Amino acid sequence: MVPVNETINYLKDSFLEGLVKLFQHCLTTTYFKWKGDFYEETDGVAMRSPLTPVVANYFMENFEQQVLDQAPTKPKCWLRYVDDTFVIWPHGRDRLQEFLGHLNSINPQDTINDGNSNHHPRQNRGIIKTLVEKARRICDPEDIDKDLKHLEEAFVANGYSNQETKRVICPNRHRGCDSHEKNAEQLGFACLPYIHRSLGSVKDKNDPLATLGVYRIPCTCGQVYIGTTKRSISTGIGEHKRHCRLGHTEKSAVAEHAFKERNRGITGFCSKRPRY
């Protein structure tokens, strides 16, 4: 989380007073609605705001500059992209723990963790899973075993337990990770189009005519009218019924067809639930 007040103080050192007031207004007037009630965000910046990544990056630049200037032992390499850092530390694990303590003492609200941190175990497992899934997606098949082995060694070296690391890397302990990967065969790939709200749950007991979608109204002559509506299907069919009853042939293709074929019947209007 980006501390707003501290960030505004950083901005005062680099921008004019009028511009800082605009920053302050945008960063301290964040409101959101939850379950019918409005709330004010007292700290942190709003997600999806175009100002958020700019302000967050500006805070991180000042934060890391302060950290590195005051660190008793400095890393050999420190590279950052947004909130991810690449660090080369040649001073041993004991000095690394001191450096992590120094990082977290500058701003206790935002802590940097390793496997020995007090974060929830699910969060620590999520770090392992994210990097393992990334390796599976982008690595060549002939390199995947080597890269997974490297990740396993790196996690253990950073305080994660060997058992926890293997559980994520090799979820199927009976068959083994290697045999599972090598015997896996991609049979094909299917992409289904997404139709908004047209595919309901098998447990959904709601009337399907109460949703939007595509419907059909058949005639005894063999022709079929296919319609679509952004309102409920029952509303669309009800309008066709009304136009047929009132003779509004200019407002409904179904009514126009019914009046041209007077000896025919619109079968969809005869049943209690029209076919759709």
Instruction: Give the separation between CA 156 and CA 122, rounded to whole angstroms.
Output: 17
What's the confidence (pLDDT) of residue 187? 58
**φ, ψ of residue 213 in degrees (nearest 5):** 155, -160
Residue 150 amino acid letter: H
Please report the DSSP string for 30-93 in residue order.
-EEEETTEEEE--SS--TT-TTHHHHHHHHHHHHHHHHHHH-SS--SEEEEETTEEEEE--S-H
The tens digit of pLDDT for each residue in 118-131 reads 667 777 788 888 88
What's the confidence (pLDDT) of residue 267? 53
CA 8 to chain centre: 29
- The residue ranges of the chain whose pLDDT is under 50 are 174-176, 178-183, 198, 270-276
What's the confidence (pLDDT) of residue 176? 46
What's the confidence (pLDDT) of residue 174? 38
Strands 224-229 and 37-40: unpaired
CA gyration radius for the chain? 31
Residue 172's H or E segment, with its range, is: none
38 - beta bridge partners?
33
Structure tokens that stand for 134 in this block? 């990334």
What's the confidence (pLDDT) of residue 111? 52
CB 81 within 8 A of CB 64: no
**φ, ψ of residue 66 in degrees (nearest 5):** -65, -40
Instruction: Give the separation between CA 150 and CA 127, rounded to whole angstroms.
Output: 15
What's the confidence (pLDDT) of residue 251? 85
What's the confidence (pLDDT) of residue 158? 77
The tens digit of pLDDT for each residue in 130-161 reads 888 888 888 888 888 888 888 888 888 877 88
| 190 burial level (CB within 10 Å; 0-12, 13-18, 19+) | exposed
The tens digit of pLDDT for each residue in 16-40 reads 889 889 888 888 888 888 888 888 8
What's the confidence (pLDDT) of residue 7? 84
Half-sphere exposure of 224 (CA within 13 A, CB side): 9
Domain ranges for the chain: 4-106, 121-183, 208-269
What's the confidence (pLDDT) of residue 275? 41
Q: Which residues contact 166 (CB under 8 A, 6 or more apart)?
A: 152
pTM, whole model, 2 decimals? 0.39
CA-based nearest residue to 217, from 225, 228, 209, 208: 225
Structure tokens that stand for 19 in this block? 């511009």
Q: Tell me how many helices (H) and strands (E) the chain has.
A: 10, 6
Residue 229's H or E segment, with its range, is: strand 224-229
Dihedral sign for Cα 57, 59, 65, 67, please: negative
